[in-house]
Amino acid sequence: MKIGSEEQLKTLLRTRGLRFTPDRLRVFRALADTPQPLSVPALINIVAPDGVNQATVYRTVEQFLALAVVQTVLLHDGVVGYELVPPFSSHHHHFICLDCGNVQDLPADRVDSALTKSLQGLGLKAVGHKVDIYGQCEKCHEDTD
């Protein structure tokens, strides 16, 4: 699974004339190993101890974005986070707890078809979507009771 993804990243990079470097792999792994979207500063905290330079992280994230390896996600406090997208991770949506700020993944299949239909007749051509749902996660819901 993980190795397969890394091979795909390698192939994708080379296809575009880019290089598969240790630093890029470190950033990729940080994203793959973290269940939550990461901001650039958060990413820097993770990979800096491995010797990856701050500027390199910015450049890598920008490239991953251009390559559609990652997508941006809005965290609860208005911070932009990055996460892997298919085929590097499963297609999913987010449930963001308004109490604790935790972001958890939601399986996407239940909502996808409905969204596609909702565009019919509007002259718009969808190639992707992002759904964020806000509320209380199970834990915080219990605390409130």
Partner DNA sequence: TTGTTATTGCAACAAATTCGCAACAATAAA
Partner DNA sequence: TTTATTGTTGCGAATTTGTTGCAATAACAA
Interaction site with a copy of itself (CB under 8 A)? 65, 72-74, 78-80, 95, 98, 106, 110-111, 114-115, 117-119, 122-138, 141
**From the CB of residue 85, how many other CB atoms can be counted at a distance below 10 Å?**
18
Q: Whose Cβ is closer to a copy of itself: residue 49's or residue 128's?
A: 128
Whole-number Å distance between alpha carbons of 9 and 15: 10
Among 2, 4, 7, 21, indicate the residue that binds DNA (CB under 7 A): 21
Asked if 18 is part of the footprint of DNA (rule: CB under 7 A), the reply reads yes
For residues 53-92, which are near DNA according to CB under 7 A?
Answer: 53-56, 58-60, 62, 80
Contacts of 107 by beta carbon, 8 Å cutoff, 6+ apart: 92
CB of 123 to DNA, least distance (A): 33
> Is residue 100 within 8 Å of residue 77, measured between CB atoms?
no
Q: Residue 143, CB half-sphere, CA atoms under 13 Å: how many?
A: 8
CB of 25 to DNA, least distance (A): 9
